[in-house]
Structure 1
Amino acid sequence: MKKRIFLLVAAFGLVSFSTAPVVFAADNTTGEVEFTPGDIIFDPEEQGADPTAKLPTNLDFGAHEIQTTTAEKWYATTDNTGEKNGNNLTTGTIAVRDNRGDATSTWSLKVKQVSQFNLGASTLGNAQLNFKVGTLNNNLGVPPTSNITGNQLTFVLFNQDYDVLTANAGTGAGETKLPIEEFELEIPANTDKKAGQYQTSLIWTFSYAPTTP
């Protein structure tokens, strides 16, 4: 008997390994966020509960017995005394919120005293009203220009606009605040006075461009 011998030949392939990275095709992912123009508001906290965060609506310099020989200095207070006493001064804040998002936008604020303090035909002669302000603040670091010299604005002329703040292009965006620390009324000696309540008005005029936020 013949034996058949089958020879099995195993073929071994050579496998090579490489440390080079394998590159796959990649897609791009784009992130987007859009902002739309907001509003510009003068005295934004007007209806708020904090009286120090908005312009005061009333300045009370107190009730005082008539005398005409000595100069007087009275302050707007919350307790009807007209005298500084701790934390009784009437204060407030000049505030502008500009969220228009336009680098070319501008705004300005002016104020005027309409007339001398008067009681009918009687006036307080050469009495002068002034207010003192603190440090101007803008939350974006682009404050407008303050036109108040020495932190005090004195109403020398009546029915005359005085520049308070001016925001040129590139300034005044975001939240701008200028604290008012006190209102003062100086009445010279030898001023004739009548019994009764003398009054005047301050008018704040705010303007901006472009006019449509």
Structure 2
Amino acid sequence: MKKLLLSTAILFGTLTIGGTTIHADAVDSKTTDGNVGFTTPADGLKLIEAANLDFGNHPISANDESYKSETDTKATVQDIRGTLTGWNLQVAQTGQFKNGENELTNAQITLDTPTLDASSTAVANVKTGIALKPTGEASLVMDAQKGEGNGTAVENFAKGSSTLSVPGATVKVQGQYKTTLTWTLNDTVENN
């Protein structure tokens, strides 16, 4: 048993004899490096997902109406460039809502209260109260300033967070009206 204890004590570098602890002295030591490198992938900045806005189906009305979005949808940006140079996401409505040749004159989409989803790993800034213009002019909806944006940023357009306003005086024809939203991710920082 004493032999086993002595072997164990020597293994751990100390030995106690008669209440005196003896430490083993290191004969030599060296330090080495551990290295890893990262490079920017070709698709390091990309728009993974863009939001579809669905305002549902409603009876024709002669009154001014506001219709809330009826589904949850998201826009997702991934930045794994490793540069921390920032980016911006814009959306443009490239024309008014149409049903064949019939146009929903003076209809207006407003992105009222989108939020940065809790699943986001990136720091980003979500814009609220954005009124889209059906003339194709882009509107800033989310951005990351210099030093931000690394990882994944998810802009959450939850049910009810966007509004479509339609004047009562606008002629409505039975059927489905559609417009096109063009989402553009830029590798530049917008000045706010």
TM-score, structure 2 as length reference: 0.69
Q: Say yes or no: does 1:90 pair with 2:71.
A: yes
Q: Which residue of 2 aligns with 1:128?
A: 108
Please, which of 141, 150, 163 is the counterpart of residue 140 of structure 2? 163
Task: Work out whether residues 114 and 200 of structure 1, in 8 Å CA contact, stay in contact via their aligned partners in 2.
Answer: yes
Q: Which residue of 1 aligns with 2:68?
A: 75
Q: Secondary structure at the match of 2:186?
A: strand
Q: Which residue of 1 aligns with 2:121?
A: 139
Q: Which residue of 2 aligns with 1:201?
A: 180
Deviation at 1:57, TM superposition (A): 4.2
Q: Which residue of 2 aligns with 1:190?
A: 169
Q: Which residue of 1 aligns with 2:9?
A: none
Aligned residue type for 1:183: S
Distance 1:197 1:22 in 2: 85
In structure 2, the gaps of 5 or more residues are 1-21
Please, which of 91, 95, 99 is the counterpart of residue 80 of structure 2? 99
| Percent identical | 25
Q: Give a deviation string over 1:138-182, Cα, whole Å, max 9, x none.
A: 425xx2333x2xx33222452110011222321111121221123
5 Å matches for 1:47-86? 55-57=50-52, 59-62=54-57, 64-68=58-62, 70-76=63-69
Please, which of 47, 52, 59 is the counterpart of residue 42 of structure 1? 47
Distance 1:205 1:169 in 2: 19
Q: Secondary structure at the match of 2:171?
A: coil
Greater shift in the superposed pair: 173-182 or 25-34: 25-34
Deviation at 1:113, TM superposition (A): 0.9
Deviation at 1:21, TM superposition (A): 8.0
TM-score, structure 1 as length reference: 0.63
Q: For the structure 1 residues 29 and 126, does the alpha-carbon distance in structure 2 shift closer, same or farther, using more than 3 Å as the test?
A: same
Q: What is the CA RMSD across the aligned residues, in angstroms?
A: 2.7
Q: Give a deviation string over 1:96-152, Cα, whole Å, max 9, x none.
A: 11111123x332111011111123443222221123302466425xx2333x2xx33
Q: Give a deviation string over 1:32-77, Cα, whole Å, max 9, x none.
A: 233333422212xx4xxxxxxxx34462521x34332x2222234x
Task: Work out whether residues 90 and 183 of structure 1, in 8 Å CA contact, stay in contact via their aligned partners in 2.
Answer: no
Distance 1:160 1:112 in 2: 6
Please, which of 111, 126, 149 is the counterpart of residue 91 of structure 2? 111
Deviation at 1:207, TM superposition (A): 1.9
Q: Secondary structure at the match of 1:191?
A: coil
Aligned residue type for 2:64: A
Aligned residue type for 2:60: I
Q: Secondary structure at the match of 1:42?
A: strand
The structure whose residues are more often strand, as a share, is 2
Q: For the structure 1 residues 26 and 136, does the alpha-carbon distance in structure 2 shift closer, same or farther, using more than 3 Å as the test?
A: same
Task: Work out whether residues 96 and 134 of structure 2, in 8 Å CA contact, stay in contact via their aligned partners in 1.
Answer: no
Task: Work out whether residues 56 and 90 of structure 1, in 8 Å CA contact, stay in contact via their aligned partners in 2.
Answer: no
Considering only CA atoms, is the larger Rg found in Structure 1 or Structure 2? 1
